[in-house]
């Protein structure tokens, strides 16, 4: 009998829509898989078994009545990062301050999933309020990497990536503020896309840094990720940053790329994202991937983006500044945790609640951001960071005058051991060196597995970057490379 949890989403959709198997069968198989293995991985914070099966039955009933599938992925279940609001399940953002909180409204992305007939299996673990690169900052315990349970699954969306890598879900949703979709994808040998900023609604996405946050699709193949991308993308008048533009033809591009022809495509290797300080196995894997792109017909040249050198410093001023503003809403007065009694003033209740409810990394970033925005320091820190952000965008623009896409390793390192960098925040931040520039510019990027490192046999990712509103280029290149690379042995 076929193991339904081992199939990719596109194959499952074909079987469901032809009524070879039912969505209920597929959903139940994944719920059984979660029950059997998630105690080892801690990928899920909440499992929505009844709701998922009810959604699956609706799909089956519609198909039985002769109706067309609601979407190309109708009936295929999905894991949702616990940062999108849901009216039928808690939204905790991995934080004690929101423990048990059920939102009064669905996020736009949640609504799109429901309308597409995609059963939501549950909410996945994450670094608290999406702040971290290892999913160790979750208030509900760390997620473990299915490749090696002593190692991190990346962050902040390690739960979604681990759910995919352990066959607990065929599809997942993440968010990417500085690499939180792409870096977990890289270290778990899955696929993850950070779409162009503003092309996937942020309404109902609990904000970390509003000018950087972007929801995006995750899968085990490039085509699966493209199919999900088209489901969740689109203009939303409830999101003031939403771009009123047609959804990019990413599925068509993925299918075109799978033919293996990249003739005429110009690929730029970013000099500043190819360093001797990176893990040797990562560089070797990346160089092999670039050679493969050449074999597929792409023209490969080196490009320089000198301002990328300052991306890390800029990002870790812009993000904390926005965090200090966004997280001020958690004041113990309206929702979430409340610590204190009738003898305490509002200020005392707020202070006690935030002290008890926020974790160490969240507190660190709030303090950094508050300092950077304070009188006398605004121009020196936050203002300067915004100027660097502009320079990074200009470097991208100059590079894209010469090439169609840029490539780099997704992360300089393979997954490290749990606890190894918890007490060294700077070492943790360095894992995002390659992914940060795309967020600062508002552009798009994808991580696709590029094999395993010869150093330790752990996964490595290839990052493909493209200009804003050119998301289809990512999928063409990633799909062509995926076919040429072949299966990754585990």
Torsion sign (Cα): 61, 63, 65, 68: positive
Could you say which of 48, 180, 285, 453 is catalytic?
A: 180
Place of tokens 């009844």: 50
Question: What one-character DSSP code corresponds to residue 164?
Answer: H
Q: Which one is catalytic: 15, 81, 112, 123?
A: 81
Q: Quote the CA–CA distance of 61 and 52 in Å, as a whole number.
A: 14
**Number of Cβ within a 10 Å radius of residue 490:** 10
The CATH classification number of 1-304+407-424+434-490 equals: 3.90.1300.10
Picking from 268, 269, 273, 305, the residue whose alpha carbon sits closest to that of residue 388 is: 305
Nearby residues of 11 by Cβ (< 8 Å), 6 or more positions away: none
Which residues in 424-457 are b (16+ Cβ under 10 Å) and which e? Answer: ebeebbbbbbbbbbbbbbbbbbbbbbbbbbeeee
Among 297, 273, 304, residue whose Cα is nearest residue 286 = 273
Q: How far apart are the first and last CA of the chain?
A: 22
Are residues 202 and 214 in contact, defined by beta-carbon separation less than 8 angstroms?
A: yes
* CA 212/CA 194 separation, integer angstroms: 11
Answer for the pair 124, 43: CB distance below 8 angstroms, yes or no: yes
Which residue among 48, 133, 134, 156 is the active-site one? 156
Local confidence pLDDT in tens for the 490 residues of the chain: 689 999 999 999 999 999 999 999 999 999 999 999 999 999 999 999 999 999 999 999 999 999 999 999 999 999 999 999 999 999 999 999 999 999 999 999 999 999 999 999 999 999 999 999 999 999 999 999 999 999 999 999 999 999 999 999 999 999 999 999 999 999 999 999 999 999 999 999 999 999 999 999 999 999 999 999 999 999 999 999 999 999 999 999 999 999 999 999 999 999 999 999 999 999 999 999 999 999 999 999 999 999 999 999 999 999 999 999 999 999 888 888 999 888 999 999 989 999 999 999 999 999 999 999 998 888 899 999 999 999 999 999 999 999 999 999 999 999 999 999 998 888 899 999 999 999 999 999 999 999 999 999 999 999 999 999 999 999 999 999 999 999 998 8
Buried b / exposed e over 358-392, threshold 16 CB at 10 Å, is bbebbeebbebbbebbeeeeeeebbebbbebbebb
Stated pTM of the model: 0.98
For the record, the structure tokens of 190 come out as 């899955």
Strand ordering across the sheet containing 299-303: 44-47, 120-124, 78-81, 171-175, 215-219, 191-194, 444-452, 459-466, 405-409, 266-270, 299-303
Residue 123 known to be catalytic? no
Q: Which two tokens stand for residue 275?
A: 């360093």
Active site residue 156: yes
Place of tokens 């953002």: 93
- Please indicate whether residue 81 is annotated as part of the active site: yes
Task: List the domain boundaries for the chain.
Answer: 1-304+407-424+434-490
Per the rule left: phi > 0, alpha: psi between -120 and 50, beta: everything else, 264 is left
Task: Establish whether the linkage from the previous residue to 2 is cis, with ω within 30° of 0.
Answer: no
């Amino acid at each position: 009998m076929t193991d339904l949890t081992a199939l990719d989403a596109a194959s499952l959709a074909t079987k469901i829509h032809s009524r070879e198997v039912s969505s209920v069968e597929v959903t139940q198989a994944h719920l059984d898989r979660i029950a059997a293995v998630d105690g080892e991985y801690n990928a899920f914070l909440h499992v929505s078994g009844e709701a998922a099966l009810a959604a699956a039955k609706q799909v089956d009933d519609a198909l039985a009545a002769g109706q067309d599938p609601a979407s190309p992925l109708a009936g295929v279940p999905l894991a949702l990062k616990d940062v999108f609001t849901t009216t039928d399940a808690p939204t905790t953002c991995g934080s004690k301050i929101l423990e048990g909180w059920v939102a009064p409204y669905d996020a736009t992305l949640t609504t799109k999933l429901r309308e597409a007939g995609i059963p939501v299996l549950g909410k996945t673990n994450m670094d608290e309020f999406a702040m971290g690169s290892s999913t160790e900052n979750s208030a509900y315990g760390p997620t473990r990497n299915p490749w090696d349970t002593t190692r991190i699954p990346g962050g902040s969306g390690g739960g979604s990536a681990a759910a995919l890598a352990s066959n607990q879900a065929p599809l997942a949703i993440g968010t990417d503020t500085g690499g939180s979709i792409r870096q977990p994808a890289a270290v778990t040998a899955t696929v993850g896309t950070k779409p162009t900023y503003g092309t996937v609604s942020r309404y109902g996405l609990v904000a970390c840094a509003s000018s950087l946050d972007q929801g995006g699709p995750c899968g085990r193949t490039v085509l699966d990720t493209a199919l999900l991308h088209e489901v969740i993308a689109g203009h939303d008048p409830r999101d003031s940053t939403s771009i009123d533009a047609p959804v990019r033809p990413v599925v068509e591009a993925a299918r075109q790329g799978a033919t293996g022809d990249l003739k005429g495509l110009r690929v730029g290797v970013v000099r500043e994202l190819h360093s001797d300080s990176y893990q040797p196995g990562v560089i070797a894997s990346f160089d092999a991937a670039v050679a493969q792109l050449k074999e597929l017909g792409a023209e490969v040249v080196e490009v320089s983006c000198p301002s990328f050198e300052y991306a890390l410093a800029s990002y870790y001023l812009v993000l904390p500044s926005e965090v200090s503003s966004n997280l001020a809403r958690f004041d113990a007065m309206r929702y979430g945790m409340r610590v204190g009694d009738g003898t305490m003033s509002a200020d005392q209740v707020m202070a006690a609640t935030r002290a008890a409810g926020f974790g160490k990394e969240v507190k660190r970033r709030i303090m950094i951001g508050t300092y950077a925005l304070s009188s006398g320091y605004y121009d020196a820190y936050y203002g300067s960071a915004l100027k660097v952000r502009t320079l990074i965008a200009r470097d991208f623009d100059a590079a894209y005058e010469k090439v169609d896409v840029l490539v780099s390793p997704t992360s300089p390192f393979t997954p490290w051991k749990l606890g190894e960098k918890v007490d060294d925040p700077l070492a943790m931040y360095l894992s995002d060196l390659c992914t940060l520039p795309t967020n600062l510019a508002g552009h798009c990027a994808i991580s696709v597995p590029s094999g395993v490192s010869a150093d330790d046999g752990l996964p490595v990712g290839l990052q493909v970057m493209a200009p804003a509103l050119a998301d289809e280029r990512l999928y063409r290149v990633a799909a062509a490379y995926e076919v040429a690379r072949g299966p990754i042995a585990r």
